């Protein structure tokens, strides 16, 4: 008696193709999700580094008694305070450039804002309708008192610095 080997039937082949296609679809969806998570994390890491650099700059000016220079920090491009620029920082522009692609940072000289263009933003929502941009501006934080040789007096003294969002956004990745 001879045993004949059989291949896939047409039904089994179609079923295998459907299973592979479903697995590929799920995998592709996860890859997109992880790309978006990586972009969000890299953006937040850059903002955190910029905030630290601003705080160090402010502390240095205060320690050296150069208080008159502190208000000038509000117009500085915060990227110049970093030891090493991010690879996706493309430079300074006057106004909104048309040739900067998504996934990059630039500094707008006109508005004095640092701008990030979101690339993978399926879960990104901004107050700007349909926009996938994040804008940040340097702001000084003032104390409501001033210490003098004679004691405390009313007044304003720089007490901190922040890189704050110009427009609210949410990036709710589940």
Residue pLDDT, tens place only, 91-107 = 999 988 888 999 999 99
- Is residue 60 in a domain? yes
- Is residue 53 in a domain? yes
- Is residue 2 in a domain? no
d(Cα 20, Cα 17) in Å, to the nearest integer? 5
pLDDT at 85 (0 to 100): 93
- Is residue 88 in a domain? yes
| pLDDT (average), residues 117-130 | 80
Q: 57 lies in which domain range?
A: 10-171
Mean pLDDT value across the chain = 85
pLDDT bracket for residue 150 (50, 70, 90): low
- Is residue 149 in a domain? yes
What global pTM score does this model have?
0.77
- Is residue 4 in a domain? no
CB burial string 72-100: b at 16+ within 10 A, e below: ebeeebbbebeeeebebbbeebeeeeeeb
pLDDT at 96 (0 to 100): 85
pLDDT of 10 higher than 90: no
- Is residue 1 in a domain? no
| pLDDT (average), residues 58-87 | 90
pLDDT of 158 higher than 70: yes
Number of domains in the chain: 1
pLDDT at 93 (0 to 100): 94
Tell me the percentage of the chain whose pLDDT exceeds 90.
37
């Amino acid at each position: 008696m001879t045993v004949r080997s059989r291949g896939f039937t047409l039904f089994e082949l179609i079923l295998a193709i459907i299973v592979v296609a479903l697995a590929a679809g799920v995998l592709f969806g996860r890859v997109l999700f992880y790309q978006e998570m990586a972009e969000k994390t890299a953006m937040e890491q850059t903002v955190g580094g910029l905030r630290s650099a601003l705080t160090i700059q402010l502390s240095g000016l205060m320690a050296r008694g150069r208080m008159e220079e502190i208000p000038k920090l509000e117009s500085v491009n915060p990227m110049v305070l970093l030891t090493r620029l991010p690879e996706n920082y493309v430079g300074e522009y006057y106004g909104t450039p048309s040739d900067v692609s998504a996934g990059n940072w630039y500094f707008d000289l006109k508005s004095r804002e640092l701008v990030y263009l979101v690339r993978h933003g399926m879960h990104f929502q901004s107050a700007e309708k349909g926009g996938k941009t994040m804008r940040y501006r340097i702001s000084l934080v003032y104390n409501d008192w001033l210490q003098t040789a004679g004691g405390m007096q009313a007044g304003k003294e720089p007490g901190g610095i922040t890189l704050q969002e110009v427009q609210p956004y949410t990036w709710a990745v589940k």
